[in-house]
Amino acid sequence: MNTPTPLNVLFLCTHNSARSILAEATLNHIGGGRFKAWSAGSSPRENQQPNPLGLQVLRTAGISTEGLRSKSWDEFAGAGAPQMDLIITVCDNAAGEVCPIWPGHPATAHWGYADPSEAQGSEEQKLEAFRRTLQAIKRRLDLLVSLPPEKLASQLIQQSARELGQKD
């Protein structure tokens, strides 16, 4: 039996340290081989690393954090980069920025989430902000993963992904 080529999905955020990392790891975890996820940032800080609280929440949820790193979206706009089928911005700042011209003109959508790394309070309150963000991201990704193959066809994926962005 032929295994279909996985759908390549890139999650974008400004610094690529929290929301986009959570989305990348989660989709790779639940995607069942139908999806291959990456994440990147429009302007990751020098020596940017994934937020340790985000990594902790992922590990607690049983999601692998192996290989996760903060990187610039420039890695995905150049020659030799994997061609994306869908690009999803997960923070409002990145959604308003001028994106590179992506090879293959992938579908795009915006799924906005509050930045859990801006949560104030105790360590437990900060962890709870990351847990809530992970749960919100996972809800939408569960819906994406459950879409029938025809909804993921290149001509319909943008509409499908944008409709999921309207769901809570």
Please give the chain's pLDDT, 168 residues, in tens.
455 789 999 999 888 999 999 999 999 999 999 999 999 998 877 788 999 999 999 999 999 999 999 999 888 887 888 889 999 989 866 555 556 666 777 888 889 898 999 999 999 999 999 999 999 999 999 999 998 888 887 667 777 777 888 766
The catalytic residues are 13, 91, 99
Ranges of H-type helices in 13-68:
19-30, 52-60
3-state secondary structure of 125: helix
* pLDDT for res 51: 95
Selection from 136, 73, 63 nearest residue 100 by Cα: 73
Q: Which residue has the tokens 């994926």?
A: 157
* pLDDT for res 163: 82
Structure tokens at 61: 């949820």
* pLDDT for res 42: 84
Note the CATH number of domain 7-155: 3.40.50.2300
Please report, for residues 9, 28, 78, 90, 109, the alpha-carbon distance to residue 19 in angstroms, rounded to integers and kept in the order given: 14, 14, 23, 6, 15
* pLDDT for res 98: 58
Structure tokens at 80: 């030799």
* pLDDT for res 71: 92
Longest CA–CA separation in the chain, Å: 52
User: Is the entire prediction scored with pTM above 0.75?
Assistant: yes
